[in-house]
Amino acid sequence: MALHSIRRRLVDSPDSWGAKRRARRAQWLSETFPDLAQMSVIDLGGRVDTWERAPVRPKHVHVVNLEPIPGELPEWAELDYGDACALPEHIAKRRYDLVFSNSVIEHVGGHERRLRFAESIHALADAHWVQTPYRYFPIEPHWVAPGMQFLPVSLRTTVAHRWPLAHTPAKDRDDALQSVLWTELIDKTQMRHYFPQSTIRSERIFGLTKSMIAYKLPGA
């Protein structure tokens, strides 16, 4: 319990170090897209409550996720159940001002699926903002575990099963293995491959890249 409270102070609580980094990233988003409040945005893999807390909220937000759909939504929000790597036709044929994705591409399931994810992003809008943790930052961000991403799968599974700073503790070893197999951090070369026309911005801590943001402005 004491160790889990450390995670809250580092990452999860509203006044945590992680929350401050997320707030700074939200500021970067609004600075990069100064017309954000007038834009229609599709958020691939996100949540509506992220935008409820945002300092600048788009005119319309369409969230697409594989999580269960809640009942009531604010009037500015739309929510669909869907796979961002193989979008249903009624979503794929629409156009938006901006595609947004935060910490999703590392969870979609390998290179082929990341290609499909990037294709969806390029097809839905001229502009995008795609964030993902950087593979070579020394702390694995999902488990807050030093160097975990460099271990063999069996050892990563052991860490995921037993490490006390995980966001959601694994129920058993099989649950831990599933979490490990669905988490594959990527590097800058991969990010540039998926988004060749984008600017890649590095979020740094103590001079080290913690996460990457691939963004493309409207008409660029």
Closest residue by Cα to residue 29 from 132, 110, 131: 131
Q: What pLDDT does 166 receive?
A: 82
Q: Is the predicted pLDDT of residue 179 greater than 90, yes or no?
A: yes
With a pLDDT cut of 90, the percent of the chain lying above it is 81
In a domain? residue 42:
yes
In a domain? residue 164:
no
Output the domain CATH number for residue 110.
3.40.50.150
Q: Quote the domain boundaries for residue 75.
A: 38-135+185-207
In a domain? residue 7:
no
Q: Is the predicted pLDDT of residue 16 greater than 70, yes or no?
A: no
Q: What pLDDT does 169 receive?
A: 85
- Give the pLDDT confidence of 135-144 residue by residue, as tens digits: 999 999 999 9
Task: Say how far apart CA 160 and CA 180 lie, in whole Å.
Answer: 7
In a domain? residue 4:
no
Q: What pLDDT does 2 receive?
A: 52
Whole-structure pTM value: 0.91
Asked whether the CA dihedral 89, 90, 93, 98 is positive or negative, the reply is negative
The mean pLDDT of the chain is 92
Spatial contact of 127 and 155, defined as CB atoms under 8 Å apart: no
Residue 127: pLDDT band (50, 70, 90) is very high
